[in-house]
Structure 1
Amino acid sequence: MVAAQHHGGQYWRLFREETSWYNEMLLSVVLPGDWWRSLPHLVQSWLRNCIGVYLMYFIIGFIWCFVIYHWKQHAYVPKDSIPAVEAMKKQILVASVSMPFYTVLPTVYEYMIESGWTHCFFHITDVGWPMYLVYLALYLTFVECGMYWVHRELHHIKPLYKHLHAVHHVYNKENTLSPFAGLASHPVDGILLAMPHVVAPFLFPTHFRTNIALLFMEAMWTANIHDCIHGKVWPVMGAGYHTIHHTTYRHNYGHYTIWMDSLFGTLQKPEDIFKED
């Protein structure tokens, strides 16, 4: 609440105006008529988040699958690692059912920001670029640590694994994983894994637009780490590491980097398993 301490309640109107603009920008383009304008702001925001995630999921998924399975066929993924069309259809079905529930989280989160409950700030100039970078580093560190431990406990707490995370881990071989598998999870599982993004702004100042962008970048990142292509970019926890996670179940719980797994002894490197060509 850095800037709000100086500007008062007027400051929080900026966040509602911003989310209203997001609603107008997307819903006016994709929905016929203007019936949605009569809906409460919260419902409009949920509708916008839901449609936005569907669009990202299908556009990214289909483009990426076209590139790696058809246009650049066998250049990135061996023939025996290409998933069957039926497997991808099932992933799309699971993800499509879960997405309306996933998007409840960012919608409620936006409401809490608009209500002044968090430490979000609107303009980078409210804190200055040096502190913006410091807060961004804190945010990313918290998200990395938080997602590691949530993911790890979803494996180690048996009821959570059995009833939630196992839905995602039916995809346990290279030829069952695809960019569509990223969001193919139980909706509560997906919400739990995204929670660190939402908790962070309650703990320290967070730039609103950066936070929203990173939250929705999850859709792109999850597509990337399920394509089985090992990018070999240290210290990124890329698809090579995440493919191992789907086959051993006990390694590589990290999200963006390998640091947490290195620190807590759960790292398994792709070069230790797969022979170089």
Structure 2
Amino acid sequence: MMWGSSEEYKAMFVEETNFYNRIILGWFLPPMMWENLPHFFQTWLRNYIGGVFLYLVSGFLWCFVIYYWKRNLYIPKDCIPTRKAMLMQICVAMKAMPWYTLLPTFSEYVIESGGTRCFPRINDIGVPAYVGYLLIYLLIVEFGIYWAHRELHDIKPLYKYLHSIHHIYNKQNTLSPFAGLAFHPLDGILQAIPHFFALFVVPIHFTTHIALIFLEALWTANIHDCIHGKIWPIMGAGYHTIHHTTYRHNYGHYTLLMDWMFGTLRDPTVDNDEPKKVC
């Protein structure tokens, strides 16, 4: 049985999205600019504003801390990216943001229509089942993003026309938290589709699903800041910086699991073929 198939469940999803729309849109825009829009467009506008706000605020705060407030503590002075590089990354991300935010908007539409295994309340299944389903969901996402990312490298037209835009930034003095969303729009969507696919495979809490999509912005900022966190088995920035210098390793997203399973893992603390300082 689909968790969201009953009319009661559908109404609960719509009620929740309306609540989020009122919070975000009501905070940033006067009511006359959004209240009469169709529900789908209200949701897209909310996701767009929320995505832009999260990307810019987190990015500027992140860069302020690691490049200015804690200057030379995390990154050598001559490896700090230029303002021009960061501005270019922001421009690429801003052009793609309207398209990025169509995916969570469409996923919410499908959920509200009752076509997924989403459930609206954790109490519907209990905390132990919620945690178990969440772990399965994250495993599906990890597997999907790994292979989407890997194929964007292996399939030459996909790399040439889509993913190469992101790989302009391949050294510490060009990589920054702002590079995390500096993709061709279709590239970014392809790498986020596993979140959507998982909705049809495993029961997942509605708000958790939406939150995880937007947490992608924070995570991608983290893995592009060139600071090696050394927290096993997390796919931190040290691993992802290697991906930007070799192109053939560390395709994973949150963890090292898929790279370990499929033979593409390269450890920045063990492999010494690449120079430690790549700026």
Query: Hey, which of these two has a bigger chunk of helix by percent?
Result: 1
The reply on whether 1:215 has 2:213 as its aligned counterpart is yes
TM-score (norm 2): 0.96
The reply on whether 1:238 has 2:231 as its aligned counterpart is no
Residue pairs, 1:1-277, within 5 angstroms: 1=1, 3-4=3-4, 8-271=6-269, 272-273=271-272
Offset at residue 79 of structure 1 (A): 1.2
Distance 2:158 2:276 in 1: 34
Gapped regions of structure 1 (runs ≥ 5):
none
- Note the alpha carbon deviations across 1:88-116, whole angstroms, 9 max, x for none: 01000000000001001110110000000
Distance 2:206 2:107 in 1: 11
Distance 1:4 1:139 in 2: 17
Query: Would the aligned equivalents of 2:4 and 2:115 in 1 still touch at CA under 8 Å?
Result: no
Query: Would the aligned equivalents of 2:4 and 2:118 in 1 still touch at CA under 8 Å?
Result: no
SS in 2 for 1:192: helix
Query: Relative to 1, partners in 2 of residues 1:41 and 1:157: Cα closer, same or farther, differing over 3 Å?
Result: same
Distance 2:50 2:173 in 1: 28
SS in 1 for 2:234: coil
TM-score (norm 1): 0.96
- Note the alpha carbon deviations across 1:189-216, whole angstroms, 9 max, x for none: 0000000011101112111111111111
Report the AA paired with residue 67 of structure 2: Y
Report the AA paired with residue 198 of structure 1: F
Offset at residue 275 of structure 1 (A): 5.4
SS in 1 for 2:250: coil
Query: Would the aligned equivalents of 1:3 and 1:126 in 2 still touch at CA under 8 Å?
Result: no
* Structure 1 residue runs of 4 or more that deviate by more than 4 Å after TM superposition: 1-5
**Count of equivalent residues:** 274
Offset at residue 72 of structure 1 (A): 0.3
- Note the alpha carbon deviations across 1:45-90, whole angstroms, 9 max, x for none: 0000000000000000000000000000010011121001000010
Offset at residue 32 of structure 1 (A): 2.8
Query: Would the aligned equivalents of 1:2 and 1:126 in 2 still touch at CA under 8 Å?
Result: no
Query: Relative to 1, partners in 2 of residues 1:171 and 1:275: Cα closer, same or farther, differing over 3 Å?
Result: closer
Report the AA paired with residue 103 of structure 2: L
Query: Would the aligned equivalents of 1:14 and 1:122 in 2 still touch at CA under 8 Å?
Result: yes
